[in-house]
Amino acid sequence: MSDLNQQAKKRTLLVPLIIVGIMFFVIGFGVGISGFLTPALKSAFSLTTAQSYLVTAAIFSAFVIFGRPSGWVIKKLGYKSSMVIAFFIMAMGMLLFVPSSRSVSFPLFLVALFVGGIGNTLLQAAVNPYVTVIGPNESAAMRMSLMGIMNKTAWWIAPLFLGLFIDLQKVELNDVVLPFFIVTGILVALGIFAWFAPLPEVSAEGENDEVAATSAYASGKTSILQFPHLLLGVLALFLYVGIETLPMASIIDFARASFGNADNLEGYSKFVTIGLVAGYLFGVAAIPRYISQTRALISFAVLGIIATILLVYLSPRFAFYALLLASFSNSLMWPAIWPLAIKDLGRFTKIGSSLLVMGIVGGGVIPYIFGAIVDAARGTAVEATVQHYQAGYWVMLPCYLFILYFAVHGNTIRVGAKK
């Protein structure tokens, strides 16, 4: 009978997980669009490299501004209603691309991306804890890895979809209108679908503040600032999201510099997806059976350091493929950093989670710094060369080094804990 009950539970979880998997796909699609629009808008508006990465910054700045309010919305309305609202906000952002293109206004494009980023923030804040608590805790990492595969696959599909309407070699802003009308319609339909979908409302054990103080370490604390391992984790997550986003945001420009104006430049985005998905598959197979989350984070941070050095020093044709290795090294960092940073927070778990969500803004900051370095290296040259991009990729090295520090020591710091 117990086996039958287990099978029934798995079938009960299957439909909600499929629905949430679609939502993870939508999140990845939104990030993938930004990666495609970066070189497209750079060409259309004659932007500098640094200015073009404001596209990514506009999306990710929403995480730091709306990260904390997202937690309040979810607490008041629940996970399911928050997901529905998130879809409609994202649809509004996509719809704003139409007047942006017709008025040829770069600032309005940034506003549209920011509005879409608000919806993305709310959706992230809802679906990540939802997929964690909807099933057994011991299989949460497996579910998150599978959701990650959906998310990263969309990174690749998004630019391929837009590539059907936009020619990277000759960008016409009017070409943006039809695809974004289509995406807007899809998001509205998903919002309606989510409202009627069989998504059970769930809650984590100890989610109420009154009963969440289960950690002896947290019981004597009065402020979130008294948890240094969390604050270090927020910084580690900030840097991680930055170096995870950078390959997607820069790979088309780097491919153009490496291989010239070849056809189907958007197809090179698949290298980022291949690396990330391969890493997720490794995580599903190996963690925790063969390697712990902490050991995996240490190993993949070292691998990221090696990938950065190869990316900077190899000849152009070979250096390009080091981005695949960097993407592979990034794959397991989210599921490893998050639980290490959130551990032992007790009744401060909710605010700690919202701080981690705000750390996602690194996906806008690090690529912008990269663009500024490329511009500085380019100087008065008309076009950035491979060497200029390689100089920008140095920004990844200190990020991986700090993540390595967090994995080895930072996550273990406990101030005032009894020995």
CATH number, position 74: 1.20.1250.20
Q: Give how many domains the chain has, as a whole number.
A: 2
Are residues 249 and 173 both part of a single domain?
no
* 240 vs 248: CA distance, rounded Å: 13
Are residues 27 and 88 both part of a single domain?
yes
Is residue 393 one of the residues assigned to a domain?
yes
In contact, 52 and 38? CB cutoff 8 Å: yes
Is residue 2 one of the residues assigned to a domain?
no
Are residues 153 and 18 both part of a single domain?
yes
Is residue 353 one of the residues assigned to a domain?
yes
Task: Report CA-CA distances (Å) from 10 to 109, 134, 150.
Answer: 43, 11, 20
Domain that holds residue 358: 208-419
Are residues 322 and 380 both part of a single domain?
yes
> What is residue 321's DSSP assignment?
T
Is residue 1 one of the residues assigned to a domain?
no
Residue type, 268: Y
**Per-residue pLDDT of the chain in tens (419 residues, 90 and over written 9):** 444 444 444 556 777 888 888 888 877 777 667 656 666 677 777 777 777 777 777 777 888 888 888 878 887 888 888 889 999 998 998 888 888 877 878 888 888 888 988 988 888 877 777 776 677 655 666 677 778 788 877 877 777 777 777 765 566 667 777 878 888 888 898 889 888 887 776 654 444 544 444 567 767 777 778 889 999 999 999 999 999 888 877 888 888 888 776 556 666 777 777 888 888 888 878 777 788 778 888 999 999 999 999 999 998 778 878 888 998 999 888 878 877 887 777 777 767 777 888 888 888 889 889 989 998 998 888 788 888 999 999 999 999 999 999 999 999 888 765 54
Tokens of 384: 């950035």
